Amino acid sequence: MIGVGRHMAHTPSAYFDAEHAAAVERLKMRLSARSEWPTWVVCVAVYGLWIGTMVLLHRQTIGLLAATPLLIVSSTWYMSLQHELLHGHPTPWPFFNKLLGYAPLAVWFPYTLYRDTHMRHHRDADLTLPHHDPETNYVDAAQWARMSPLMRALWRAQRTFLGRLVVGPPLSVARTYAGECRAFVRGQWHYGPMWCVHGALLAFMLVGMQRWAGIPAWYYLLAVSWPALSLAMIRSFYEHRAADKVSERTAINEAGWVMRLLYLNNNYHLIHHDLPGLPWFLLAAAYRLRSIDYVAKSGGFRIAGGYRGLFARYAFRAPDASVHPSGR
């Protein structure tokens, strides 16, 4: 049994040696890194694709069925952009970055809540640990014992690739909203204003889309935002695993260029966790600097076939157990 514990874990250095540190610093001195122009291009592309699709619908140039995949892709890409924004790109001003990602295009999770929970996820010593890592795919033994047979079946299903596409989004949303409701019951109203603003913006967006572009609110919620969340959750399907060493808990997924662009290179997840301030467009170059060392550091947690390989191996079975091997 793996004896993973937050007090036992040791977070390794982000650099292998001084030469590696210097090489990463040279990457940061590139014009693209100093100007962040690739992220600005993605901002324009994401909003351009989403708004452009709305314009085409308004002009009746395309129908709703043709527009749906465009809206799904733009919403998924928007979630990847939000991840980049909360990590301090493309500007050094958090509030401005927040404004760039505050629109509720992806519907379910307010930007501020995502930012705060994701920052807790980046406490690498706690990676995968239930009750400590808010993005863990594991539960502890006590949680598992309390689950009903139906909930256990759903949890097992969402640990498979296909199950994650179908069951993952409702479980993720229900888990988040239940946690927020419990916080409100305990009198923790810190996020109350955030939810009010998010709800108001979402209502305005849905009503506006229905009146201007002819998209029923129910259709956007079920046929656009739900599949977009499914597509986004493919990336996190097996990007972490339980392991004694912190560095062996995070994957390197050698995905193809389409998925790399959609997820803004977050498939190079170990490199992102080691260097969370590095912009998305430098992650592949950072990996190539010391790819052999990174694979060794991950304990061989390298997914050579990309997401297609994950589908082939885990379409109907889970990579590992649902209960965290530490038992807690």
What does the pLDDT look like over 208-225, one tens digit per residue? 999 999 999 999 999 999
In percent, how much of the chain has pLDDT > 70? 96
Q: Cβ contacts of residue 17 below 8 Å, gap of 6+? A: none
pLDDT digits (tens, 9 = 90+) for 275-318: 999 999 999 999 999 999 999 999 999 999 999 999 999 999 99
**Choice among 53-57, 165-169, 185-189, 203-207 with the minimum mean pLDDT:** 185-189
d(CA 306, CA 267): 9
Q: Is the pLDDT of residue 167 over 50?
A: yes
Please, what's the b/e burial string for 12-47 (b: 16 or more CB within 10 A of its CB; e: otherwise)? eeebbeeebeebbeebeeeeebeebebbeebbeebb
Query: Which among 303, 324, 197 is positioned nearest to 255, based on CA atoms?
Result: 303
Query: Which among 85, 74, 163, 76 is positioned nearest to 118, based on CA atoms?
Result: 85
In DSSP terms, which residues pair with 225 in a beta bridge? none
Average pLDDT over residues 41-52: 98
Mean per-residue pLDDT over the chain, rounded: 94
Q: Which amino acid is at 13?
A: S
Whole-number Cα distances in Å, 215 to 198, 229, 239, 243: 20, 19, 35, 46
In DSSP terms, which residues pair with 323 in a beta bridge? 139
In percent, how much of the chain has pLDDT > 90? 94
Instruction: Supply the DSSP symbol for 242.
Output: -
The token duo for 194 is 């955030």
Whole-number Cα distances in Å, 206 to 49, 201, 263: 17, 9, 25
- Cα torsion angle, 197, 104, 266, 175, sign: positive
Confidence of residue 326 (pLDDT cuts 50, 70, 90): confident
What pLDDT was estimated at residue 88? 96
pLDDT digits (tens, 9 = 90+) for 175-196: 999 999 999 999 999 999 999 9
Confidence of residue 13 (pLDDT cuts 50, 70, 90): confident
Average pLDDT over residues 141-168: 95
Of the two residues 10 and 67, the one the predictor is more confident about is 67
Confidence of residue 9 (pLDDT cuts 50, 70, 90): very low
Confidence of residue 328 (pLDDT cuts 50, 70, 90): low
Of the two residues 2 and 19, the one the predictor is more confident about is 19
Average pLDDT over residues 11-21: 84
Cα 52 to the center of its chain, rounded Å: 25
Query: Which among 299, 294, 296 is positioned nearest to 273, based on CA atoms?
Result: 294
Q: Cβ contacts of residue 34 below 8 Å, gap of 6+? A: 28
Q: What angle do CA 281, 162, 166 make, to 5 degrees?
A: 95
Confidence of residue 327 (pLDDT cuts 50, 70, 90): low
Stated pTM of the model: 0.93
What pLDDT was estimated at residue 10? 33
Q: Which amino acid is at 287?
A: Y
pLDDT digits (tens, 9 = 90+) for 83-136: 999 999 999 999 999 999 999 999 999 999 999 999 999 999 999 999 999 999
pLDDT digits (tens, 9 = 90+) for 217-249: 999 999 999 999 999 999 999 999 999 999 999
Q: Is 89 helix (H, G, I), strand (E, B) or coil?
A: coil
Whole-number Cα distances in Å, 197 to 103, 111, 229: 10, 11, 21
